[in-house]
């Protein structure tokens, strides 16, 4: 396969879906998400634009599923050129002393633990020349953002360590900061916000795409 290969985790909707479509003209897309219907709709859009995708309706918090996914990528293509990690869990806003255990556990599972597991599995596929892309959202320490902010901060601390550790050896680890978008995640945080003032995921993907594609 001569076309480059991009893995998008959290590709069902929002920024992940937008990046999948933006990358499809130059990459075969491996789209991972929990919602099969949304992935099928994404595949329709990619095919309509002349691209191709492999759909992987999976939960990134399931270690066996992620191991199977990465083994499948290795067996079929041998390597991975790009990994764009957009999967995130937005726990309900709550004072720190009222964070529900289930919300804390899911936040840590999706935002921190799954990221750690995926780095372990995906790094060998990226090798020295591939690139991993993550998106910062510095909410740690903000009031009512305890579960989300702490788990996201843990994710980014891990990513920054990997970024520093792989600076000379590869893969390249990139951290980008998208502008506020009218995603389902943001809607949970700001339900009464005027969404018309926010940047569309497609426009943010287009804005950030040159940085993702640069060597």
- DSSP assignment string, 63-78: HHHHHHHHHHHHHHHS
Q: How far is the C-alpha of 57 from the C-alpha of 144, rounded, in Å?
A: 32
135-154 confidence digits (pLDDT tens): 999 888 899 999 999 999 99
Helix (H) or strand (E) holding 207: helix 201-213
Task: Give the per-residue SS3 of 130-187.
Answer: CEEEEECCCCCCCCCEHHHHHHHHHHHHHHHHHHHHCCCCCCEEEEECCCCCCCHHHH
Classify the C-alpha dihedral 88-91-96-99 as positive or negative. negative
151-189 confidence digits (pLDDT tens): 999 999 999 999 999 999 999 999 999 999 999 888 888
Q: How confident is the model at residue 213 (pLDDT cuts 50, 70, 90)?
A: very high
Please tell me the total count of domains within the chain.
Answer: 1
Nearest to 84 by CA among 183, 187, 159: 159
pLDDT score at 138: 84
Nearest to 198 by CA among 177, 178, 176, 180: 180
Tell me the pTM: 0.95
Please give the residue range of the domain that contains residue 43.
Answer: 4-213
79-133 confidence digits (pLDDT tens): 999 999 999 999 999 999 999 999 999 999 999 999 999 999 999 999 999 999 9
Nearest to 65 by CA among 40, 87, 43: 87
| CATH number, domain containing residue 102 | 3.40.50.720
pLDDT score at 1: 55
At 198 the three-state DSSP class reads coil
């Amino acid at each position: 396969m001569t076309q480059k290969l991009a893995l998008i985790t959290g590709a069902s909707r929002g920024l992940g879906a937008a990046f999948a479509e933006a990358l499809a003209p130059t990459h075969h897309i491996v789209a991972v998400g929990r919602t099969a219907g949304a992935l099928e709709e994404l595949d329709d859009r990619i095919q309509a634009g002349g691209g191709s995708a492999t759909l992987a309706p999976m939960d990134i918090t399931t270690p066996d599923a992620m191991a199977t996914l990465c083994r499948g990528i290795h067996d079929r293509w041998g390597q991975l050129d790009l990994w764009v990690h957009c999967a995130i869990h937005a726990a309900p806003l709550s004072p720190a002393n009222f964070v529900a255990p289930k919300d804390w556990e899911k936040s840590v599972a999706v935002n921190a633990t799954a990221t750690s597991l995926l780095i372990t599995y995906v790094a060998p596929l990226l090798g020295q020349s591939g690139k991993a892309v993550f998106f910062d959202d510095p909410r740690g320490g903000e009031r009512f953002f305890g579960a989300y902010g702490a788990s996201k901060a843990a994710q980014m601390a891990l990513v920054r360590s990997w970024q520093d550790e792989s600076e000379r050896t590869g893969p390249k680890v990139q951290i980008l900061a998208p502008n506020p978008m009218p995603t389902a995640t943001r809607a949970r945080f700001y339900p009464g916000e005027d969404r018309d003032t926010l940047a569309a995921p497609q426009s943010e993907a287009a804005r950030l795409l040159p940085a993702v594609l640069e060597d």
